[in-house]
Amino acid sequence: MAYELADVTAIQALHRGEASADQQRRAMDWIVKQACATYDFPFRPGPSDRETNIALGRQFVGQQIVKMLYINPNAVRRSDPRADPPEG
């Protein structure tokens, strides 16, 4: 997986909880597009389907991250009463 120094520093800053808005976007972009290969074609030719299955697993993680970026939190609250327990 290709990465630049700015990707490394963005991921590290995100992990420390100190990432700027630009670093947060860069880190998520690298995770979704590079590490997870979310938008790549997963088929890997060869005598075994092992490489394709690995690519599909990576893609699944990326798809779950993207889903959580765009899902309506109110829909989660309505469908799962344990999502946000009442305070007090």
Sign of CA dihedral 9, 64, 33, 25: negative
Alpha carbons 32 and 11: distance in angstroms, whole number: 12
Q: Are 82 and 72 spatial neighbours (Cβ–Cβ below 8 Å)? A: no
**Residue range(s) defining the domain that contains residue 30:** 5-79
51 falls within a domain: yes
Nearest alpha carbon to residue 61 among 25, 26, 23, 33:
33
Please state the domain count of the chain.
1
Tokens of 45: 């030719």
The answer as to whether 85 is a domain residue is no
pLDDT in 10s for each residue of the chain, 88 residues: 899 999 999 999 999 999 999 999 999 999 999 999 999 999 999 999 999 999 999 999 999 999 999 999 888 877 776 766 666 5
Domain assignment of residue 88, yes or no? no
Report if residue 39 sits inside a domain.
Answer: yes
- Residue 11 resides in a domain: yes
- pTM of the predicted model as reported, rounded to 2 decimal places: 0.82
Contact 3, 34 (CB under 8 A): yes
